[in-house]
Amino acid sequence: MIFKTAAELGELIASGETTAVEVAQAHLERIEQVEGKVNAFLHVSAERALEQAAAVDARRAAGEELGPLAGVPIAHKDVFTTKDMPTTCASKILEGWVPPYDATVTTRLREAGLVILGKTNMDEFAMGSSTENSAYGPTSNPWDLSRIPGGSSGGSSAAVAAYEAPLATGTDTGGSIRQPAAVTGLVGMKPTYGGSSRFGLVAFASSLDTPGPFARNVLDAALLHEAFSGHDPRDSTSISEPVPPVVEAARQADVAGLRIGVVKEFSGEGYQAGVLNRFNETVELLESLGAKVVEVSCPSFDYALSSYYLIAPSEASSNLARFDAMRYGLRVGDDGTRSAEEVMALTRAAGFGPEVKRRIILGTYALSSGYYDAYYGKAQQVRTLIARDFEAAFGQVDVLISPTTPTTAFPIGERADDPMAMYLADLCTIPSNMAGNAAISVPCGLADEDGLPVGLQIMAPVLADDRCYRVGAAVEKALEDRWGGPLLRKAPAL
């Protein structure tokens, strides 16, 4: 049961060949079996999941018409508010906090009949590329338990790669869906900014955060994307346009006649040879499928990483000011002898981890008097140049492609004391967050050096999310024909 795709599970439940309760139970048993090795979940809600599954079965028995994912289990990143289970953002400062409301994404998952198994581990407040910054310990990559599963949505990627859930949610601020998907052999999509609601998503960087899906194949990702996306009047940045036809595009799987641009700046020094080998082979594959491939230069992309690490921490320093020990969450030192300022300082010192403190300090500095124009202002100007580079590129081609990450999954602890090396994991993914356009990562093989997954990144214009799925599905189909089945089936058994 756990090896079925989400689409297959939905069809089996709809036909009566199995029940949502049986499917949920199978995945809960899998979680119990492997979770001690993976640490993908911060909270497993077994009883509540079975109740949700039973409710889906009852609705089906009553003759209610349900969506294609009704009864399918899902792992939910612990950055989305959930009124029936804790939302901690993997931080001690929110330990045990149960929100009084659901995020819009959570609400739409429930309305679609998806069964939420629990909340997944992550880098604290989504700040990181390895899930090592969690206050509750790192998550392991199911391909090699000594390696990272990516971040910040590493718990979600590991849960799907370990067959603990067929689907998962994530958030992508600088690559936090695509990068984990790449290093765990999954499909991970960053929709157009504003295409999926941020209401109830605990904010890291408000102009960048984007909810998106994880799945083991392109069609499943498209089905989940469609289920929780769309306009939300409670999110002022939500786009009022209809959701692009992503499911239709995923079923099309055809690139004949498409113009595909290879980003010149995303290659060379710092890229693992095995990653470039698989990428170059995929470029040749796309040409053999009828696409026209050309090289495209986007010079401002070279400055994306630097500008991102001024803009994102600046927004984080503002957003995290709400965790002040006064309203909710952790409170330290409130013994009646200390002022509110002292309690606040003690609480934030005890509740935030090192990476969160680093980014708050960096962001506060960048926004401070005398430095705002020199740092934050300049970074925003670079952001405009990046958007213009995308605009010029999409005037020449339909989509852009690159490796998703410069390397495969690195060993846990290898970059823990080197923030710059850690930040470079998002080198290829950050530009799409800065411009707000759509981007997806799909598996394109295994690296020669270590046998670990490599991801292909496909970038499309704003609100052209369907192009990502169309190209991704074509690559997936061609490679599955070559491999004799899905890449993930070859992952080492836990």
Which residue numbers are catalytic?
Answer: 77, 152, 176
Hey, how many other C-beta atoms are within 10 angstroms of the C-beta on 96?
A: 11
In which element (H, E) is residue 190 found?
strand 187-190
Residue 101 near residue 202 (C-beta atoms within 8 A): no
Alpha-carbon distance of 168 to 69, in angstroms, equals 12
CB half-sphere exposure, 164, CA atoms < 13 A: 32
What values do phi and psi take at 280, rounded to 5?
Answer: -65, -35
Please give the Cα distance from 55 to 23 (Å, whole number).
13
If you ran DSSP here, which 8-state letter would residue 410 be given?
Answer: P
Its sign, for the CA torsion 97, 101, 105, 110, is positive
Task: State the amino acid at position 41 in one-letter form.
Answer: F
Question: Which amino acid, 241?
Answer: E
Nearest to 119 by CA among 171, 43, 177, 49: 43
Tokens 């690195």 -> residue: 410
For the chain, how many residues are written?
A: 494
What does DSSP assign to residue 140? P
Q: Which residues of 406-420 are buried (b: 16+ CB within 10 A; e: fewer)?
A: bbbbbebeebbeebe
